[in-house]
């Protein structure tokens, strides 16, 4: 089980804000910490995996729940 260190509610925000806010929220977390991101921007489906790959973070899961996307990101280190 991945223990969630923090949750970012990015619903209502459009590209590139969900990724920018996720980057900012990950900064103070320890390497290996998990950030849960909620988003409803259709572009986030492409942007979040790309951001994780570029920044060295692991995208643990990406799914849709109740009409919003839920991402679990493990901070790289």
Catalytic residues: 15
Written as six digits, the tokens of 21 are 């806010």
* Contacts of range 16-25, beta carbons closer than 8 Å, 24 or more positions apart: 16/47, 17/41, 18/44, 18/47, 18/48, 19/44, 19/47, 19/48, 19/51, 22/48, 22/51, 22/71, 22/73, 23/51, 23/55
């Amino acid at each position: 089980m991945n223990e969630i260190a923090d949750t970012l509610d990015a619903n209502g925000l459009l590209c590139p804000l969900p990724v920018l806010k996720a980057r900012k929220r990950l900064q103070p977390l320890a390497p290996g910490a998990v950030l849960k991101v909620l988003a409803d921007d259709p572009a986030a489906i492409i942007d979040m995996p790309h951001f994780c790959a570029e920044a060295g973070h692991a995208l643990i899961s990406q799914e849709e729940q109740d009409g919003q996307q839920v991402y679990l990101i493990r901070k790289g280190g």
